[in-house]
């Protein structure tokens, strides 16, 4: 999709990947509607976007509350008339061993990372289908395909989002509405400073946000269905699919090694 003149809604745009993506979309000529909970941080991002597209706007909302998700869809459609691209990027981590997880935590993670993007998508989609054009970008994670140890609640929420996206892409194949699933590796953002999470167990280099956003912008321009950034993660996902037992045993051995065992 060429972003010039488009209307783009990006969730979770007060920091990290969403903030930089919003600015890059605005630089490309898109009017952006950005949302998150932290008003002050959104205002700073909005100012940078409005330097390129003055009609860009912001919506403060908590996307773990479904009434606020519905309200966001209404406010964005009121502001823009129609939406060309929706980026479901808002999300929360949950690095917690399965034996320390409680059900309410799993449900909360699923609500924000899976159900909320689905709800927003279903509210925006009819307009796209009626217009015969649109792009839904869902920010998943390599955790969805690699089943990262110590992150079962997070992994499952992202896997659900990925599979929903793929099935949706098939359903929409002939409609002119496209779907892109983004698989970030480990990106240097505030995601690793959020409380009530175990320390990151993986000794993997964090890529800068700009590298991830470069990959997403390129995938958008190519109408790609999925993008892994860095792309070598895709090879690991293929390896897991071809030898699940070997992959899980290797992961368990790696966790032991990281713990010094």
Ligand X SMILES: NC(=O)c1ccc[n+]([C@@H]2O[C@H](COP(=O)([O-])OP(=O)(O)OC[C@H]3O[C@@H](n4cnc5c(N)ncnc54)[C@H](OP(=O)(O)O)[C@@H]3O)[C@@H](O)[C@H]2O)c1
Q: Which positions lie near ligand X, rule CB under 6 A?
A: 12-18, 36-38, 41, 62-64, 89-92, 112, 139, 141, 184, 186-187, 189-191
Q: Compare residues 3 and 120 and give the one whose CB is closer to ligand X.
A: 120
Sheet holding 85-88, edge to edge: 57-60, 31-36, 7-11, 85-88, 134-139, 177-184, 226-229
Tell me the C-alpha distance between 182 and 255, whole Å. 26
Tell me the C-alpha distance between 125 and 67, whole Å. 18
**223: which 2 tokens?**
């109408």
DSSP-assigned letter for residue 123: H
The minimum distance between CB 128 and ligand X, in angstroms, equals 21
The minimum distance between CB 64 and ligand X, in angstroms, equals 4
Q: Compare residues 16 and 28 and give the one whose CB is closer to ligand X.
A: 16
The minimum distance between CB 143 and ligand X, in angstroms, equals 6
The minimum distance between CB 19 and ligand X, in angstroms, equals 7
Dihedral sign from CA coordinates of 37, 41, 47, 48: negative
Tell me the C-alpha distance between 151 and 141, whole Å. 12
- In a 3-state reduction of DSSP, which class is residue 97? coil
Q: Is the bond into 180 cis (omega within 30 degrees of 0)?
A: no
Q: Compare residues 224 and 256 and give the one whose CB is closer to ligand X.
A: 224
Q: Active site residue: 114, 154, 183, 228, which one?
A: 154
The minimum distance between CB 245 and ligand X, in angstroms, equals 25
Q: To which H or E segment does residue 10 belong?
A: strand 7-11
Q: Is 183 considered catalytic here?
A: no
Q: Compare residues 175 and 201 and give the one whose CB is closer to ligand X.
A: 201
Question: Of 181, 178, 204, 182, which Cα lies nearest the Cα of 192?
Answer: 204
Find how far residue 35's CA is from the centre of its chain: 13
Q: Compare residues 162 and 189 and give the one whose CB is closer to ligand X.
A: 189
Catalytic residues: 154
């Amino acid at each position: 999709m060429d972003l010039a003149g488009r209307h783009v809604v990006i969730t979770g745009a007060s920091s990290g990947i969403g903030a930089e993506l919003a600015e890059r979309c605005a630089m490309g000529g898109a009017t952006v509607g950005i949302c998150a909970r932290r008003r002050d941080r959104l205002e700073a991002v909005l100012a940078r976007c409005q330097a390129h597209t003055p009609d860009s706007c912001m919506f403060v909302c908590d996307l773990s509350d479904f009434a606020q998700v519905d309200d966001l869809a209404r406010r964005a459609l009121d502001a823009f008339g129609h939406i060309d691209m929706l980026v479901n990027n808002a999300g929360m981590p949950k690095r917690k061993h399965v034996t320390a997880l409680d059900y309410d935590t799993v449900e909360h993670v699923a609500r924000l990372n899976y159900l909320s993007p689905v709800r927003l998508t279903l509210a925006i989609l009819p307009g796209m289908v009626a217009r015969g054009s649109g792009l839904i970008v869902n920010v998943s994670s390599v955790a969805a395909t690699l089943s990262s140890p110590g992150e079962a609640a997070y992994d499952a929420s992202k896997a659900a989002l990925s599979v929903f996206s793929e099935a949706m892409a098939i359903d929409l194949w002939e409609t002119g509405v496209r779907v892109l699933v983004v698989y970030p590796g480990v990106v240097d953002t505030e995601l690793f400073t959020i409380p009530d999470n175990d320390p990151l167990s993986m000794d993997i280099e964090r890529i800068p946000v700009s590298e991830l956003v470069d990959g997403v912008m390129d995938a958008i321009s190519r109408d790609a269905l999925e993008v892994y950034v860095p792309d070598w993660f895709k090879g690991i996902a293929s390896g897991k699919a071809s030898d699940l037992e070997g992959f899980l045993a290797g992961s368990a051995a790696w966790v032991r090694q990281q713990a010094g065992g």
